[in-house]
Chains A and B, each alone.
Chain A
Amino acid sequence: MSLLGGQARQLRLALLQAPDHSLGRVVAMLDGLQDRSVIDQVLDSVRPRLRRLAPARPLRLSRLLFLPLDTVIDPPSGWRPGSQRIPRSAIAPIADLVSATLPRLAEEIAAAALGHSHEDHAVVAALGARLWPAAGVLAHTQMPRGWVAAGLPASAAAPVLGLCTAIWRHAVPLWQARAAALAGTTDALALARAALAPLVAEGAGPLAAGLTLLLRASLTPGQVATLAASLSAQIHPLAERELTSMLAENAAAVAAATTAGEMAKAAALLARRLADLDVSDNAAVREARRRQAATLRRDTSQSCHAHFAGALVERLLMPAATAAAGPPAEDAVVTMLESAARDLRRLEAVGRRLGQESTFDSTLRDAVAQLRRLAATPGGLERIDIARLIEILAGPEAALATLEPAKPEPAKLEPAIAQR
């Protein structure tokens, strides 16, 4: 498929305007196309949203090949030669080179990957274990076909290919360490050390690429950055820079979230990552990290509370009042209200962890009071429906009074200690 300039522009515009739920479907359709040369450019405009939504993408040879390098891939317009990073436009020529050099393996991998996505972790690990080490022994003096046609300088081919092959040689332990980092298993740090240590001999570029991969997967990135600095003093500034930038991106993802559930998830990840920043032998580093953590906590908890207060009214209190004023509510309506209340509770729990406890208390107290007033004349909602909304939002103690109208009590919030 090739697109004329006007068609590409129209498609790009359509993608930019597409709601989240449609975007995933459109991207899945585009992923099914064989020729991705133009599609990649079209997708560049929505990549930040794709990163946030993380739809499952088909597992092709090129995607599998570059999964361990995912965090050092730049859009062609942002890539600079000598940056120890990889331009996205280099993926197709390099993948073609691997296919041409290892035709049988490439065919087997393509067949085995059919129908799987990059989220099928076991398949990625198994196929990667066959592909990456084999690709790691490619001679990086070769010029991939289509390199110059992709707008890349010929002089950049060897360094980019060199970075790729260095990572592929160590990709199997790196991928294992990444899986452990994502899951937060107890052996995550030991696996990270085992994966990063051999990369020191490969040079700063591969070490930085390996470090970035693990850092961005880790639930304890502070420890990973400290570990990297202990392996190579040279990598220390980059590790701290990468850590700072990743946390700032995490905070931005919280602020950009459009639903309470999505924001709770993003904020929980940030809170988890901020919790381990103090781990460093270097006092100056510790202090700098502490300052950044305090700023991010304050800003993010404010974002969380602002969203919580708005969504509470829009997604719960107003729909509940509407349902209570109408005919007996359908099960689907009550289920939707409960789902909104759960998302709000998740957001409130993580928002409290980051700060703003008293502000959340006050907002929650008002919401419970409003729901209790609804319970006095429940109408379309049953009293138990409203009690359950209060229970989900503020705990069973706060909901009890709703079921005992004869003995009303002042709004009481349970401490929600289990969430912290």
Chain B
Amino acid sequence: MLNMRSTVEGFAANLPERQASFAERGCAVSFTAPMLSGARLRRVSCGPAEIVLPALSGRGVYVMGWDACLLHCAPSLHDRQLWDRIASHERPTPALVRAAAREVARGGYAGRAAKAAVLVAIRQQEAVRDALRNSLAARLRPIGPGAAELVAPMVAILAQTGTGPGQLSDCEPSAAMPQAIVALEAFCGSIAAWSQVARTPTEQRGAAILLGAARLTLLLADASLQALWCLVADLLDRLVRGEARQEEVLPLLAELASRVEWVLDGWSMIETLWAAAGPAGRGAVLPEVVSLLPVPPLETEHWPGARPDWDTLLRTRRLVRPSPAWGSGSQVDLAERNEGLRCLAP
């Protein structure tokens, strides 16, 4: 362990705690190898894909290429398959990474339980797509033959976000992003309750940071989703009335839909870690959870709405010594745990 610790320290990079853009922050990747817990994949400019890992010290990150990961981080069979599917994308996004992770888990690389969980998630996603396809087709029928061309890409864009309750259909199954917002709200409740029984000042401070970050993220995610749903309703009306051109609609929708995905990217790992730890293990998992906090990049400052004070939160985070789990835990246990997390968030 000491050898690994000193070796990876060579990849320490002093990146700013708040990156300029989501692309620089990278997408959360659900690798199962303990040393790759909390990894993000990013591709800056035209350079090769990089892995960004939380540093053991709790300050800064490690930035590594895949060859270095193979040498130092013992990626699992699952991780190697996943990397093969995501590394070549020029602009990796959370949706692309999630789809690839599901493909790999469906192949059994994260175990039978994760495979079963992914099959259920895929069925749910298909149900959302079918409902969305039917609703959009019905809504856009008045615009004539061009409707069919518009429906497929709109379904692809809106499959994760849905179109909002009661917008197109009263019985549309809930899409992944609204569900993720509900899960984040539930996480806030759990953190708030736990902070009441947290024993040490460090635990109390850690809980306050998590709660603050989750609430700020909720504001941002909720506002982005509401904006998207309003836009969908408005654009559909305008399309039907012939006041909007089809080629304008899709980029607008794609931009807003991707905002929700990026804002929530990485939170499901935190929520599942927290849930899996159970009440007795929450104090122990806190440093790892705090080390994984997905901090929205500076580009969100230009979005409409309030300007949350992330800087204060980040200053406080430095006091709780965030740390990834692989620095102290058993690798066999952590690998098993990480595969278990894949079942909770397929």
Contacts and interface: CB of A to CB of B under 8 A. Distances in A.
B78 to A, nearest CB: 9
Contacts of A418: 1, 4, 34-35, 74, 326, 331
A365 B330 CA distance: 22
Interface in A135-159: none
Contacts of B116: 331
A331 B112 CA distance: 6
B108 interface: yes
B113 A331 contact: yes
A342 B336 contact: yes
A325 B241 CA distance: 66
A399 interface: yes
B75 A396 contact: yes
A338 interface: yes
B3 interface: yes
A384 B107 contact: yes
A4 interface: no
B26 to A, nearest CB: 23
A382 B108 contact: yes
Nearest to A345: B332
Given A400-B77, A414-B74, A418-B34, A346 B4 contact: no
Contacts of B77: 384, 387-388, 391, 396, 399-400, 403
Given A331-B113, A331-B116, A391 B76 contact: yes
B146 to A, nearest CB: 45
Contacts of A420: 1
A342 B336 CA distance: 8
- Among the interface residues B34, B35, B112, B113, which one has the most CB atoms of the partner chain A within 10 A? B112
A346 B332 contact: yes
Contact of B108 (A335, A388, A399, A419): A388
B75 A419 contact: no
Contact of A122 (B4, B79, B199): B199
B4 A388 contact: no
A346 B109 contact: no
A342 B199 CA distance: 33
B88 to A, nearest CB: 20
Contacts of B1: 417-420
A335 B35 CA distance: 23
Contacts of A419: 1, 330-332
Contact of A384 (B33, B76, B108, B326): B108
A209 B336 CA distance: 40
A266 interface: no
A334 B112 contact: yes
Interface string B111-140: 111001000000000000000000000000
Given A346-B332, A418-B4, A419-B330, A335 B80 contact: no
Contacts of B107: 384
Nearest to A121: B280
Interface in B41-60: none
Interface in B283-331: 326, 330-331
Contacts of B113: 331, 335
Interface string A398-420: 01100100000000001001111
A342 B332 contact: yes
The 10 closest A-B pairs by CB, nearest first: A384-B108, A331-B112, A418-B331, A345-B332, A334-B112, A396-B76, A396-B77, A346-B332, A391-B77, A342-B332
28 contacts: A331-B112, A331-B116, A334-B111, A335-B112, A338-B111, A342-B332, A342-B336, A345-B332, A382-B108, A384-B77, A384-B107, A388-B108, A392-B335, A395-B74, A396-B75, A396-B79, A396-B80, A399-B77, A417-B3, A417-B4, A418-B1, A418-B34, A418-B35, A418-B74, A419-B1, A419-B330, A419-B332, A420-B1
Given A335-B112, A388-B108, A419-B1, 13 more contacts: A334-B112, A335-B113, A346-B332, A384-B107, A384-B108, A387-B77, A392-B335, A395-B74, A396-B33, A396-B75, A396-B80, A418-B326, A418-B331
